[in-house]
Amino acid sequence: MAEKKKTIFYTEDIEMRFGGLYALKNINIKIYENEILGM
């Protein structure tokens, strides 16, 4: 059970790191598009 928990936390940590980076990029792109449309 301990090994399974470690692998789950490890995969979740990777998903959180990469998922967070992609989320920040998407948010920045949306803000950039909104600024262009606003102008």
Name the CA radius of gyration of the chain, rounded.
17
Q: What is the pLDDT of residues 2-37, one digit of tens each?
A: 666 655 566 667 677 777 777 778 787 888 888 877
How many angstroms separate the CA atoms of 22 and 13, rounded?
Answer: 14
Predicted structure pTM score:
0.34
Give me the pLDDT at residue 5, please. Answer: 60
The C-alpha atoms of residue 9 and residue 39 are separated, in whole angstroms, by 44
Q: Where are the domains of the chain?
A: 1-38
